[in-house]
């Protein structure tokens, strides 16, 4: 059986188990991008609180963030954790956003140009860049995160410690879904990962158990 079929099978299984996730929970592309930075290394609940705080301050737009002192920006996003570094990252993101012509200007960019632009921002690495590309600008990208590494590696499909870009390209080649499917797939993996394939413990009721290649793996 071709590897692509296995990824399709896992996708179908997760979709049936968890239902459509309807990501990204945001009103517009800029909010997606801000949320992507705020959720780095933190639970989404905390990032969402910081997003809400920005909204209440009427500051969830490029102009306001650009005009806001970095210290007060940091104070506003405090619940997201790492607020001092993230304030700087949001400043960098906002500067690039405005310089790129905003939502319209960015949407008109090629995916290569878009990724390069995002990766040029301090504090935006491969995963955050890809999340923005996929969820804010609907580019066909397979977002690789720790959950994807764990789920796929414990099933036996990948090694798990591949370099980011290499794994991303490999998954984009193997999984034959379109952008909308990549969107749903990543969200489903995250949802699954919250309760399965944990870093330390394991579980016995994984809906992917019978998909495992060989016997070395478990959830």
| Residue 138 interacting with DNA (CB under 7 A) | no
Q: CB of 27: closest distance to DNA in angstroms?
A: 13
What dihedral do alpha carbons 107, 118, 100, 91 form, nearest 10°? 130
Q: CB of 63: closest distance to DNA in angstroms?
A: 24
**How many chain residues touch DNA (CB under 7 A)?**
45
First vs last C-alpha separation in the chain: 22
Q: Is the dihedral of CA 79, 186, 98, 84 positive or negative?
A: positive
Separate counts of helices (H) and strands (E) for the chain: 12, 0
Binding residue for DNA (CB under 7 A) from 16, 125, 159, 218?
125
Mark 44-83 with x for binding to DNA (rule: CB under 7 A) and - for no binding: xxx--x------------------------x---xxxxxx
Mark 21-40 with x for binding to DNA (rule: CB under 7 A) and - for no binding: --xxx---------xx--xx
| Residue 203 interacting with DNA (CB under 7 A) | no
CA distance 154 to 9: 16
CA distance 53 to 60: 9
Choose between 122 and 173: whose C-beta lies nearer to DNA.
122
- The number of CA neighbours under 13 Å toward the Cβ of 197 is 23
Q: Which residues bind DNA (CB under 7 A)?
A: 23-25, 35-36, 39-46, 49, 74, 78-86, 122-129, 131, 135, 145-147, 161, 164, 190, 193-194, 198-200
């Amino acid at each position: 059986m071709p590897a692509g079929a296995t990824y399709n099978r896992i996708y179908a299984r997760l979709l049936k188990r968890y239902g459509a996730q309807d990501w990204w929970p945001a009103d517009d592309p800029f909010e997606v991008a801000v949320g992507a930075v705020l959720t780095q290394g933190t639970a989404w609940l905390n990032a969402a609180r910081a997003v809400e705080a920005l909204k209440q301050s009427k500051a969830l737009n490029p102009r306001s963030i650009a005009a806001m002192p970095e210290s007060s920006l940091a104070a506003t996003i405090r619940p997201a954790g790492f607020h001092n570094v993230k304030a700087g990252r949001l400043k960098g993101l906002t500067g690039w956003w405005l310089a790129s012509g905003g939502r319209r200007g960015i949407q008109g960019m090629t995916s290569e140009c878009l990724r390069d632009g995002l990766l040029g921002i301090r504090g935006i690495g491969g995963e955050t860049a890809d999340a923005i590309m996929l969820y804010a600008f609907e580019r066909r990208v397979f977002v690789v995160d720790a959950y994807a590494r764990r789920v796929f590696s414990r099933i036996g499909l990948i090694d798990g410690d591949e370099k980011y870009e290499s794994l991303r390209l490999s998954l984009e080649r193997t999984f034959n879904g379109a952008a909308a499917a990549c969107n749903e797939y990543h969200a489903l993996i995250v949802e699954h990962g919250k309760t399965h394939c944990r870093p330390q413990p394991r579980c016995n009721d994984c809906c992917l158990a019978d998909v495992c290649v060989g016997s070395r793996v478990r959830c």
